[in-house]
Amino acid sequence: MVTSAQLRVGIVGAGFLAETRARCWKQVVSAGIAGVASRRRERAEDYAQRFDVPAVFEDLDAMLASPAIDVVDLCVPNSLHREMAEAAAGAGKHVICTKPLTAYTGQDLPEDASDADVAGRDRGEMLRVAEADARAMVNAAKHAGVQLLYGENWIYAPAFRRALGLLKKADSVLLEMRGGECHSGSHSPYSRVWRHTGGGALIRLAAHPVGAMLHLKRAEGLRRSGKPVRPAWVSAETADLSAVAGLPADELRVAGEWGEVENWGCAVIGFDDGSRAVAWGGDHVLGGMESGLDLFASNCRLRLSLSPNDMLSAYAPDERVFDDAYIMEKIDSGAGWTTPMPDEDWTSGQLGMCQAFAANLLDGVAAESDGELGLEVVRVLYSAYVSAVEGRRVDYETNQGVLE
């Protein structure tokens, strides 16, 4: 439990995600950003000025040494998650870690290993290393007596919270879940390099529906039998759909040239109660960010639309009408019919997540989205990568307990 009257947050990183977090934390009455640290000090200083952050720290160590920080919010590349989380836990700070909890980025290879060496690593070894890192983060938090909170915002989206309540009221059993996240693709060169991302569309985008689905079955099992329903096996396919044969480069309107990583991935998860889930991620879809879940239950059906949604629709005969007004994430034009999002931080669950995490830490209550969930997501995703390469269903329990 945090002893201060207001949760004091330290932001690590000053990029896109850190800006999202700043907007959200500023709306949480019981919390505030007390400091920021970034690899480039000028970016941290600019961030502090724009978001009225009182302290800029030289590095993570300086932040961890400050008694004015209760929790660190890690908005940093995947390769830094384990070392920073362990350092923060060792300093007695709670940790919020964005998705995925960990990733395989060549951490078990020599420092001079090439990008090709990292991308070509045996997928079974990737699973082993990524799971070991995730488990180390969970254990570090437990041993230090602090919370490791997994930043899966879908779980805190208003549509998801309402669906969770309805499933509980109906005492439903989920028979099948289908969900995904997709858009026209990241244009960052880092997103195409396994060393930086730990994979492609599966780990960057499908991590969201996978986390949401695992949480739903966990909650269902605890509600009905006192024991979580867990994955039993995973089967998957991956591809670069921007490289479809016969498609000229000048006709491609989505991001292309993915190289080392997939721009489409689909995983089927079989649970130990016999139910199924289908999760996908893709960088091949025009029209803006699309995020949603279909839930097929024993006595009801629910459809969640996180993005887009129809709270507001707009029409413009050409893109000049709305000029540079923000419509929604990844939309390429404001022309025609669009769905301007009234508040993406709210509908995506980012705001609700920060509000919930503040309450968890101030009251000493375990978070719904915790390190254990993050660990399960890592295991499912890298089991999916094994399946996609080896062309077989992967028994999820095969590696259970090996790394403990």
pLDDT, mean of each 10-residue run, the chain (404 residues): 86 96 97 96 96 97 97 96 98 97 97 96 98 98 98 97 96 98 90 95 98 98 97 98 92 92 98 98 94 97 93 87 84 84 93 98 97 98 98 80 33
Q: Which CATH class is domain 7-153+352-371?
A: alpha beta
Distance of CA 313 to the CA centre of its chain: 28
The Cα–Cα gap between 78 and 103 comes to 6
Residue 60: exposed, middle, or buried by beta-carbon count in 10 A (0-12, 13-18, 19+)?
A: buried
The pLDDT score that the predictor gives to residue 310 is 84
The pLDDT score that the predictor gives to residue 321 is 85
Query: Is residue 154 within 8 Å of 304, Cβ to Cβ?
Result: no
Q: Where in the chain is the domain with CATH 3.40.50.720?
A: 7-153+352-371
Tell me the fold of 158-347+388-395.
Dihydrodipicolinate Reductase; domain 2 (3.30.360)
The pLDDT score that the predictor gives to residue 401 is 35
Q: Where in the chain is the domain with CATH 3.30.360.10?
A: 158-347+388-395
Helix ranges restricted to H, 102-204: 115-119, 123-144, 158-170, 194-197, 201
The pLDDT score that the predictor gives to residue 400 is 43
Query: Is residue 155 within 8 Å of 349, Cβ to Cβ?
Result: yes
Cβ within 8 Å of residue 307, ≥6 positions away: 288, 289, 290, 291, 292, 328, 329, 341, 344, 347, 348
Instruction: Find where tokens 């800006």 sit.
Output: 19
The pLDDT score that the predictor gives to residue 404 is 32
Q: How are strands ordered across the β-sheet holding 56-57?
A: 56-57, 31-37, 7-12, 71-74, 94-98, 148-151
Q: Return the percent helix, strand and coil in the chain, to nearest 5.
A: 40, 20, 40
The pLDDT score that the predictor gives to residue 232 is 97
Of the candidates 98, 124, 177, 92, which has an alpha carbon nearest to the alpha carbon of residue 353? 98
The pTM is what? 0.94
The Cα–Cα gap between 312 and 292 comes to 17
73 phi/psi in degrees, rounded to 5: -105, 105
CB atoms within 10 A of CB 210: 33
The pLDDT score that the predictor gives to residue 342 is 86
The pLDDT score that the predictor gives to residue 330 is 81
